[in-house]
Structure 1
Amino acid sequence: MSLLAADPAARVSSFNPVAKFAAVLVVTLTLLLSIDPVSAGVTLLLVLALLPWSGLSARMIWLRCWPLLAAAVLASAATVLYGRPSGATYLQWGLLHISDGSLYLALAILLRVLAIALPAIVLLSTTDPTDLADGLSQLLHLPARFVLGGLAGLRLVGLLIEDWRELSLARRARGVADAGRVRRFLGQSFALFVLAIRRGAKLATAMEARGFGAPGARTWARPSVLRRRDGVLVLIAFAVAAASAVVAVTAGTWTFVWAL
């Protein structure tokens, strides 16, 4: 099973994609209002506490989230070295300026990135693209032509990865991939680009022939409905967001982004 494929055995996969999207949006918007370590830390702790109920194994969560952790550490490290100086200064050398302000901001960014991305990865990466398209069209009433086009494009991502691998093997078999790594990458990227355009044109023609772009009301093979557990998921997201904001305001660390 692909690491980004929805695991049907996981509990979190059974929620409606629209409810999962709404839950992620609630948590994200709350954290985007303030840059402080307290609100992000509270959200991260609550999300980590809820992970055992997601139905995903620790190994699967780690494989999906380790790039996020690496990106958060790099972002915070850059903030430590080049962040806005304030308070006591610990090191200053050229452009490098490590101070209380840069350390505080780096911690806030580290926790903020993890708190925003972790629930998004867990919830949205366990969502089947077809179920998401059904929910967006039937519940949110987005244009079916736009939703189905996006779904078709998303389904082709796996094919592009396979095409890249086959192009690499074919070029190596012809002896044109033995030297010049940069030149090989550029040539292979152009070949993949041409192949993607051809496949996209054929797919668009096939979808038009099957009536995907026809005017009028559209029928759906699988109805998308919201259940009670979907409402519980959204309420949990509101509770997590409210708890993080209340704790940050009580601690006096809540700082609106436009006040920075």
Structure 2
Amino acid sequence: MSATTYSGVVTAERAGGIHRTNAVSRLLVPVPITLVLLLTLDWVSAATALAALAILLPFTGITARQFFLRTLPVWIAAPAAAVTMLLYGRPSGTVYWEFGVAQISDGSIEIAVATMLRLLAIALPAVVLFITVDPTDLADGLAQILHLPARFVLGALAGLRMVGLFMDDWRQLELARRARGVADTGRVRRLLGMCLAILVLSIRRGSKLAMAMEARGFGGDIPRTWARESTLGWRDAVLAVVGLAVAALIVIVTVSTGHWNFVFD
């Protein structure tokens, strides 16, 4: 079965390297890297993580265009957060500009750069790892490997599958309201009306889906079987080793260069 995504970017058969691993592995591998990046606020650790991502990117099976399109919100959010730190970060050293409580100094510039690189280093690997994750594969892994409650996993999977229908309902509702002539003026009023209609429609569909799943035994206490077995293989072991190696490399480079800035000091 192909790992079809809602965006239709890449399928499991076309993806290579990392995207042939188990979805649970891709969920857990960024954890040690993220923990290391959260323990220190400096530009060296984040730059090291980004350099490692650049080296490993060709092995992910995605093109540069797909990478930048999928990570575009991250590239917008990171500089925005950096601007906030630039103006309101802890001032130190030479002050270059000051207006009220806003100050630009050597310290705020360093914190802004570190914050931007840190956000990129945390968010970009997560997007790269999950760009081809099939929700069904992830649900199988969460239930069979991590042994999460089947009721919770299947409920979340069913809700996620409704996202596509939600978008279709929004478009159909918008066209229907325009055909009746009630969507020509008042954008705010129109938006509130559509949100209320979608909320009612979503509640009705969710209730029907819940009853259908209960009728088919999804909420029973008897241990259930799974149509597809979710297992871990050698690719998952290699991916885990790479993740731990990158986390260790970040610590070694940052400490050896004297830039380790423990956030709880």
Q: Assess same fold via TM > 0.5.
A: yes
Deviation at 1:159? Answer: 1.2
Q: Does 1:44 align with 2:50?
A: yes
- By how many angstroms is 1:66 displaced? 0.6
Unpaired runs of at least 5, structure 2: none
Could you tell me which residue of structure 1 aligns to residue 110 of structure 2? 104
Whether the 8 Å contact between 2:90 and 2:108 is mirrored in structure 1 is yes
| 1:146 corresponds to 2:152 | yes
Contact 1:3 1:64 in 2 (8 A): no
The letter of the residue matching 1:176 is V
Partner SS, residue 91 of structure 1: strand
Q: Distance in 1 between matches of 2:57 and 2:263?
A: 29
Contact 1:36 1:108 in 2 (8 A): yes
Partner of 1:3: 7
- Deviation, 1:13, is 2.4
Query: Which consecutive unaligned segments of at least 5 residues does structure 1 have?
Result: none
Letter in 2 for 1:197: I
CA distance in 2, matches of 1:130, 1:6: 16
For residue 6 of structure 1, report the CA deviation from its aligned partner. 5.3
Contact 1:7/1:13 (8 A) holds in 2: no
RMSD: 1.3
Partner of 2:231: 225
Indicate the residue corresponding to 1:201 in structure 2.
207
Aligned to 1:74: 80
Q: Does 2:133 correspond to 1:133?
A: no
- How far residue 157 of structure 1 moved from its aligned partner, in angstroms, is 1.1
- Superposed counterparts of 1:48-197, under 5 Å: 48-197=54-203
> Which structure 1 residue ranges, 4+ long, deviate > 6 Å from structure 2?
none
- 1:236 is matched with which residue? 242
AA at the equivalent of 2:224:
R
Call closer, same or farther: CA 1:32–1:4 in 2, change over 3 Å: farther
What TM-score does the superposition give when structure 2 sets the normalisation length?
Answer: 0.95
Normalised to the residue count of structure 1, the TM-score between the two structures is 0.96
Q: Distance in 1 between matches of 2:71 and 2:237?
A: 26
Give distance in 1, aligned partners of 2:209 and 2:184: 34
* Number of corresponding residues: 259
Cα distance in structure 2, aligned partners of 1:251 and 1:189: 53
Deviation at 1:174, TM superposition (A): 1.0
Q: 8 Å contact 2:169–2:198 — kept in the other structure?
A: yes
How far is 1:126 from its partner? Answer: 1.6
* Amino acid aligned to 2:11: D
